[in-house]
Every structure is written in structure tokens, then in C-alpha cells.
Structure 1
Amino acid sequence: MTGAPYDDGKPLSDAVNSLSILLTEGRYARAEEPGALVQLENDLDAAQRLYRTDRTRQTIEVLPNLIRRIHGAVRELSGDDKAHAYTLLTSAYVLAEWSVRRTGHLMLALPALDLADGYAPSSDDPTYGAFSALARARVLTHFGESEVAGQLIDSAIATADSSTAGMVLAGYSHLAGAINEARQLNYPGAVAHVGAARELSTYTGETDLYMTAFGPLNVEIHAHAVELESGDPNKAAIDGAKLAHDRDAPPTRIAHHWQDNARAWLMAGKTDKALTALNKARVAAPQQTRLHPAVRETLHGIAIAEKRRTETLTGFAAWLGTSV
């Protein structure tokens, strides 16, 4: 319906094809020589940094070989090392799901989720099972299946303990729950989830444990998103425009906020401010901004609302690869 996946201006088809083959192989994946377990862990960390710094295309490029090597480690190792290899494998498939969803290849998200769910019980980190379920809940929210998504989110919250990892899991789950409730227009329920996450963030501070980017900043970003989805879009626009963050804040998280802020300004009837917010998203994370369907929807909404085409509007459309 949205026209996604879009072209980010550089070849993506070969990388997606390699990942598609791997996901189709599923549990029968062809393994490759793994090398040292510590090197696999370092390479996975590097792939996660690519994703977090708005280089999702590059993440997809490196994942197939990395995952095949981790499969090799799972088949060669035993004991605690094997369990840790399963943790890396689960994490890699979760990263694959995030990457294909961000680039609009939603049908690839489903086998990636199934594989993450399948390998999580063999992991040496029991928390990964809950994070895999949360990834599925986010996709279900996207498709509008809020009931099952809510069940998965509530289950993740119930399994969280009082450790730092447990508080991050619970906080991240509450943020997922906030969006899930907001999409159902359950504003009080969404606000309650944000409040619970905000309290947990006072204990965890800013952290990217499990690639969550959880902390006070992400809580406030979700608070603005809840206001946009089920509260007052004008309030979301005005308050969201005041967002302040450190220079080391995850650029993709910041860009997504400005995408939402642009939509809020459009709903508030301020097309000039909506376009300003889109340009802030472009500066923060250009690849993500170019690939996200909501950006095109907002841009076309601005074009419909404006009586004449400005150079700024047509210039942004040209960069995006569309017309207005």
C-alpha cells in the first residue's frame, strides 16, 4: 500500500537476496567456518553499530556471512561456548528482523522472528526470549493486531526481574506497550505505560543494552509519539519541537522523532514547520528518512495542503526520489 521497500540510492537488492536465501534455509542454514567466538561477538557488535548509526543497508550486507559463521560455531562448539553462540545467533536474527523491517522488506521479518524465537531457548541469556517476543509484538502492532501484541508485551513485563537487564527489558516493553495502546486510541493506557517506563529510566539511565536505546530520552520521545497517535497532535508538535538531546544520542531514534514531529505539525496545519522537521530527520539519519514510508506520506500531505510548490518542498521530494 505504501510502495515500500524504496531505493535508498545505492544497490540493496544483492544484499537482500543473500539474506532472503539465508532466511529461507532456516534451521538448515549452510554454515561457514566460524573463527574464534570472541571475533564473532566483535563482528556482531560492529553490525549492531552499523544499524544504530543509520547504515542499515550495510548491516544487511554483512549479516548473511556473519550469521552463517555463527551457525558454524553452534555446530562446532559445546557446553557454555555453544550456549553463548546461540545467544549470538538469536541476537543476529533479531538484528536481521529490525533491519529488513526498517528497509520495508516486511515479509522477511517473519522468518527472522521465527528463527530468533527458535534459538532463544538454547541461549545462555534467558532475556533474549523476551526480546524476541517483543520484536514480534512490534510487527503485530504495525499490522494492527494489538491484542496478541499486548499479550506478548505483558508477558515480557511479567518476566522481568529487578536486575539492570530486567529493568531495561521492562522499560523497553512498556514503551512498546505505549505505542500499542496508542494505536488503539487508548490514551490512558498508553500514558500509564509511559509513566512506568519513565520511572524505570530513573534507575537505568541512558543505556543501549540489548540494542534498546532505553533511557529518559527514549521515554520522552515515546511520550510525544503517544500524544500524536492518541492525544493532541498540536501538543505533540509544540512539545516535540523542544526535544533536547546529547550529541551521542542514537541518530535513528532522533530522526524517527522528527518524522513524528513533522506528522504532528502537518495535522496541526503548520506545513512549513512540518517540512522543517522532515529536514531535521534527514540531517539526523538520511538513510532511514529516505526509506521510511511515513516520510513520503507526510511530504505528500504537505504538498496537498500547500497552494504552491516551494523550492524547498520540491528539493526534498527530489532527494527522496518522489514527486509532489
Structure 2
Amino acid sequence: MTNSTGVGANIARARKLRSYTQDRLAREIGYSVSMVRKVERGLEPAAPAFLSASARVLRVSVDELTGAPYQDTIERNGGLDGLSELRAILAEGLHVRAIEPLALNELAAELDRVNLNYRNDKGKQALAKLPIVIRQLHGALYNATTDAERGAVYSLLSSAYVTAERIARRFGHLPLTTPTLDRLEVFAERADDPLYASQALMKRARVLMYHDSYDVGLSLVEQGLALVEGSDEKALAVRGYGHLAGAIVAARGRKPDVARAHIEEARSVAEHVEGESDAYGTLFGRANVGIHSVAVELESGDPATAAREGSALHLPKSIAPPRAGHHWQDTARAYLLAGDPARSLAALGRARKVAPQQTRLHPMVRETLRGIAMLERRKSDTVSNFADWLGPNAVL
């Protein structure tokens, strides 16, 4: 169904295949006819909640509407080593072909290096190494002789599948997230670190947003939060992460009061965290709360506030590049929706500078740039250059 014509054109095509009028689609997804028209014409980027609702009603997947993964762009930049092997591992399920492992402490160190690559916007490098680590961890599980050893390996496997799910989303392979989370839930139940069970629920809640399943997602967030015990940094990071997940799920589910309540809870937790915690890759701290607060205002329909607060937010130099990049992507979309394409483009430039790999492959970046181009009386060289950098036919 998809090609390079943009989300709006893909929604229009899917709508016509279902013999839906714009009026009927608007009624079914709970948005105005005016919004449907603007999205289909490319005058306004489709919000993630609009996308998931449209996909559900039109009986297609979100990635069919976005066109992700952007294979031409990925191949132009060297392809994705490790993707086919990760697919094989997920297809093997609980029968993964194990290979001879390193010592457990060496495997833990190798997994830390994979996670650090992901944190630093080097997802391609992380993906290239991750499948080998997973197969070695299954080898370590086979070799384990005590419950303590098995519990430690299950925790490392949980960490590996957390990263696998993040990588699948990063590169636009949403169908891989479900089997990844299925594996995570199995291993988290057996891990010697109980906080992985909490994270498994919270991460599934975030994936459910792509399926327009917000009530189930919010229920899973609450279940995950209820499992978190303790007040050390790890527990605080997971608790805070859960509230941030709940905030985004609620905002996209059009429950702004619930979303803002989660933000305030997260803000309270962040007061007890020094800087930005790297525990479990949550990157939880005051700055991340600020980033999510901006996102909540954007998803709740207040782009002017999101643009103002997003541009004013001070991000520490130590914050993970993908997190900062996502913030500037949201700020760019907010400026566009607020009618300021020049500042929107400037925010996209900041996202590109801080997290180029993530920015190049994010669907909302392409839609925001397309919206900027539509608002300009003539396409500027800056827009054209940015589109060329994104990949073939990023803006038509």
C-alpha cells in the first residue's frame, strides 16, 4: 500500500479501499472532518494517536501508513547487520540455537557495550552485536548448574530483549516488537531482578499505543507500578519510567488529566534521582520528565504550549542523544502545528545534529518536514537539503 507519498496519501488510499468517506473516517476515529482533510492533504502531520486510530479502523498497520521501515534510506547508509539474525532468534522462540558463551561477567560487559551503543544513537552497531550476545546467553543458560546462575542469566536475557524491542522500534520494524516482548515476559518472570517484570508490563503498554489500545496499556502501567518495591536508584528509575509511560499512553488516549497526573508523580520521583539514571536504559531524571511534559501537551492538543516549553527546556549535555533528538522532533511538530514553520525547521535541525541516526528514520520527522514544505510558498533550499538527507522522496 505504501510508497513515498506520505502518511496523508496513504490514509486516503486506505480509506478509499474501505469505501469510507472522510466524514465516516472522522466519526470512526473520533477526530474532526477538518483534521482528516488536513492530514490527507499533508497540511498537518498525523499525530501518533490519529495514526493508530486510523490504522485500527481501516484495518491496516501503522507501518503501512507511515511507510516504515525506510528501506531505501537504511540501505543507502549501509543496511542493518544483525536484523536477519534477530528475526531468526525471534522465530525460534524458546528454542533458540545456543552458542558457546563467554564467562557470565564478560557477557554482562558485552551487553553493557551494546546498550551503551544504543544510548549514544549508534543503534546499527548495537543491532550488529546483539544477536550474538543473545545466542551466547542462551548458551550460558544451558550451561548453568544452579538456580542462582540461572536467575542471573535470565536477568541478562531480560536486558537483552529490552534492548531488542527498542532497536526494533528505532528502525521501524514494529512487527518484531510483539515476539520480543513475549520473550521478555517469559524471562522476566524467572530473573533474579524482579524489576524486569515491571518493565515488561510497561514496555508492552507503550507498544499497545500503536494498536489504539490505550485502556489496556494504562492498566498494564498500573500493574507494573504496583510491582515496584524499594527506594534505591533502580527502583526509582523504573517507577519514574512507569509514570512517564503512563503519561504518554494517557495523552494519546485523550485523557490529559490522567497524563498530567502521571507527569507530576514522575516529577516527584525525579527529585530523589541524581542526574539522569542509566538504570535499565530508562534515562530517568528531571530532564526526561521535562521532555515528557512537553510531549504530553503536544499529544493533548496544545501545540503552542508544547512549542514554548519545548524550546525553553534546558537539556544537560549528558542526556542521551536519542532522548534529546526525540524532544526536538516533538518541538518541531509543535511549532508546525502552532503555525511557525521556520522554527519548526530549526528544531528539526537540532534533532538532526544531536541524534542523526534516529532523526533520519523517524516517521514524524518526515511528516513534519512535509508539513513545513506545504506551508512554504516555495520549497526552500534548506527544506530540500533536509529532505535529501532523509532519503529518497522524503518530501514531494
TM-score, normalization by structure 2: 0.80
1:245 aligns with 2:319: no
Matches within 5 A, 1:165-244: 165-205=234-274, 206-244=276-314
More RCO (CA 8 Å, sep 6+): 2
Match of 1:3 in 2: 67
Q: Does the 8 Å CA contact 2:81/2:124 hold for their aligned counterparts?
A: no
Q: 1:74 aligns with which of 120, 129, 141?
A: 141
Q: Does the 8 Å CA contact 1:264/1:274 hold for their aligned counterparts?
A: yes
Match of 2:359 in 1: 289
The one-character-per-residue Cα deviations of 1:41-95 (angstroms, maximum 9, x if unpaired) are 0000000001000011111111111100000001101221221011001110111
Range with bigger deviation, 229-238 or 95-104: 229-238
The whole-number CA distance in structure 1 between the counterparts of 2:253 and 2:188 is: 30
The one-character-per-residue Cα deviations of 1:86-116 (angstroms, maximum 9, x if unpaired) are 1001110111011011110011111111001
Q: Does the 8 Å CA contact 2:373/2:395 hold for their aligned counterparts?
A: no
SS of the aligned residue for 2:319 comes to coil
Aligned CA distance change for structure 1 residues 85 and 244 (closer, same or farther; 3 Å): same
The whole-number CA distance in structure 1 between the counterparts of 2:231 and 2:366 is: 41
| Letter in structure 1 aligned against 2:112 | D
Range with bigger deviation, 5-14 or 264-273: 5-14
CA drift of 1:138 comes to: 0.6
Match of 2:211 in 1: 143
Matches within 5 A, 1:157-172: 157-164=225-232, 165-172=234-241
Q: Which runs of 5+ in 1 are unaligned?
A: none
Aligned CA distance change for structure 1 residues 67 and 131 (closer, same or farther; 3 Å): same
Q: Does the 8 Å CA contact 2:152/2:191 hold for their aligned counterparts?
A: yes
1:29 aligns with 2:90: no
Larger Rg: 2
The one-character-per-residue Cα deviations of 1:109-158 (angstroms, maximum 9, x if unpaired) are 11111001111111110110111111111100232210111111001111
Match of 2:344 in 1: 274
CA drift of 1:21 comes to: 0.8
| Letter in structure 2 aligned against 1:323 | V
Aligned length: 324
CA drift of 1:213 comes to: 0.3
The whole-number CA distance in structure 1 between the counterparts of 2:382 and 2:166 is: 32
SS of the aligned residue for 1:62 comes to helix
1:323 aligns with 2:395: yes
SS of the aligned residue for 1:276 comes to helix
Range with bigger deviation, 270-279 or 245-254: 245-254
Q: Does the 8 Å CA contact 2:240/2:270 hold for their aligned counterparts?
A: yes
Q: 1:50 aligns with which of 117, 123, 126?
A: 117
Match of 1:254 in 2: 324
The whole-number CA distance in structure 1 between the counterparts of 2:224 and 2:100 is: 35
Q: Does the 8 Å CA contact 1:187/1:231 hold for their aligned counterparts?
A: no
The one-character-per-residue Cα deviations of 1:9-53 (angstroms, maximum 9, x if unpaired) are 323354211111111011110001111000000000000001000
Matches within 5 A, 1:56-67: 56-67=123-134
Match of 1:110 in 2: 178
Q: Does the 8 Å CA contact 2:81/2:127 hold for their aligned counterparts?
A: no
The whole-number CA distance in structure 2 between the counterparts of 1:231 and 1:174 is: 20
The whole-number CA distance in structure 1 between the counterparts of 2:94 and 2:210 is: 26
| Letter in structure 2 aligned against 1:50 | N
The whole-number CA distance in structure 2 between the counterparts of 1:208 and 1:247 is: 14
Range with bigger deviation, 156-165 or 60-69: 156-165
The whole-number CA distance in structure 2 between the counterparts of 1:253 and 1:44 is: 20
Structure 1 stretches of 4+ with a deviation exceeding 3 A read none
The whole-number CA distance in structure 1 between the counterparts of 2:183 and 2:81 is: 22
| Letter in structure 2 aligned against 1:274 | S
Q: Which runs of 5+ in 2 are unaligned?
A: 1-64
SS of the aligned residue for 2:66 comes to coil
Aligned CA distance change for structure 1 residues 212 and 37 (closer, same or farther; 3 Å): same
| Letter in structure 1 aligned against 2:395 | S
The whole-number CA distance in structure 2 between the counterparts of 1:162 and 1:90 is: 20
Q: Does the 8 Å CA contact 2:297/2:303 hold for their aligned counterparts?
A: yes
SS of the aligned residue for 1:204 comes to coil
| Letter in structure 1 aligned against 2:360 | R
The whole-number CA distance in structure 2 between the counterparts of 1:95 and 1:11 is: 21
The whole-number CA distance in structure 2 between the counterparts of 1:88 and 1:13 is: 23
The whole-number CA distance in structure 2 between the counterparts of 1:293 and 1:196 is: 30
Q: 1:87 aligns with which of 155, 169, 176?
A: 155
The whole-number CA distance in structure 2 between the counterparts of 1:113 and 1:224 is: 28
The whole-number CA distance in structure 2 between the counterparts of 1:59 and 1:12 is: 13
Q: Does the 8 Å CA contact 1:156/1:169 hold for their aligned counterparts?
A: no
CA drift of 1:244 comes to: 1.1
